[in-house]
Amino acid sequence: MMNTPVNICIVDDDDIYQFTVVKTLELLEFEKNIKVFSDGEEALEFLLSNLNQNDELPDVIFLDINMPIMDGYQFMEEYVKIKSKLGKKTVIYMVSSSVDPVDIEKAKRISDISDYIIKPIEPGKLKSIMEQLIKESN
């Protein structure tokens, strides 16, 4: 088991969803830091201001597609430009209530996205994602 906390980043403009995911994660038994951003731009600014701070940078990002200001796809376009400057590998899950095959296909074409998760995220799914993440980082 790794001793360093897992840094989790939730990028979503839906307050209820944010609250639910944070609560679910808090119930899981592992050390974690959770940061919540309401749009892609906020999250991007955070990444840019912490480029070399590995203890601040997220290990995993749950990224919503539809957000004001900067949506999930726009965030990914910017992320690709800066990822070589980031001091650590980040796993990114695109999360959406959209079951539109076009959205799913588009997300799958972005190589930096690990998976496309349809909302609401089941607590069991969240748990298995986190267990996998912790296992791989050992």
**pLDDT tens column, 63-77:** 999 999 999 999 999
The CA distance from 17 to 13, in Å, is 8
DSSP element (H, E) containing 132 = helix 123-136
The whole domain housing 64 covers: 11-120
Is 16 domain-assigned? yes
Residues 12-19, mean pLDDT to the nearest whole number: 95
Is 91 domain-assigned? yes
Domain count, the chain: 1
Which of 134, 136, 135 is CA-nearest to residue 5?
A: 134
Residue 65 is predicted with a pLDDT of: 94
Residue 1 is predicted with a pLDDT of: 45
β partners of residue 37 = 11
Residue 3 is predicted with a pLDDT of: 66
Residue 22's CATH number: 3.40.50.2300
CA-to-CA dists, residue 16 to 5, 20, 49, 76, angstroms: 25, 6, 27, 24
Is 132 domain-assigned? no
Is 78 domain-assigned? yes
Is 19 domain-assigned? yes
pLDDT digits (tens, 9 = 90+) for 44-55: 999 999 998 999
Is 47 domain-assigned? yes
Is 129 domain-assigned? no
Residue of 1 and 92 predicted with greater confidence: 92
Residues 13-22, mean pLDDT to the nearest whole number: 95
Is 138 domain-assigned? no
What is the number of alpha carbons within 13 Å of residue 60 lying toward its C-beta?
A: 22
pLDDT at 9 over 70: yes
Residue of 101 and 1 predicted with greater confidence: 101
The CA distance from 44 to 129, in Å, is 23
